[in-house]
Copies of this chain bind each other. A is one copy, B any other.
Amino acid sequence: MKAVVKVTLRKGVLDPQGKAIGNALHSLGFAEVGDVRQGKFIEIEVPDGTSQDRLKDMCQKLLANPVTEDFEILMAG
């Protein structure tokens, strides 16, 4: 089974990488672009039946920084 963890910066946390992407898009002529935010996702191959709690545990211990980041767990087939 494949689990996908989406890690985003918390609202209110500055996102310099997103800002840089926005600026670069503007200078490439995409003037209509507004706010840009960047995040990451992690695809993890886990045995069938792995619980959400187990994945939450992985996120809290390693995958996300709880001070600045939020995470969301999506299970795939």
Contacts and interface: CB of A to CB of B under 8 A. Distances in A.
Contacts of A22: 44
A14 interface: no
Q: Assembly of this chain: how many copies?
A: 2
B32 A43 contact: no
Interface residues of A, number: 31
Contact of A18 (B6, B33, B42, B46): B42
Nearest to A32: B47
Interface of A: 6, 18, 21-22, 24-25, 28, 30, 32-47, 50, 54, 57-58, 61-63
Given A33-B46, A35-B44, A40-B41, 19 more contacts: A18-B42, A18-B43, A21-B42, A25-B44, A25-B58, A25-B62, A28-B61, A30-B54, A30-B57, A32-B50, A33-B58, A34-B45, A35-B45, A36-B42, A36-B44, A37-B42, A38-B43, A39-B42, A40-B40
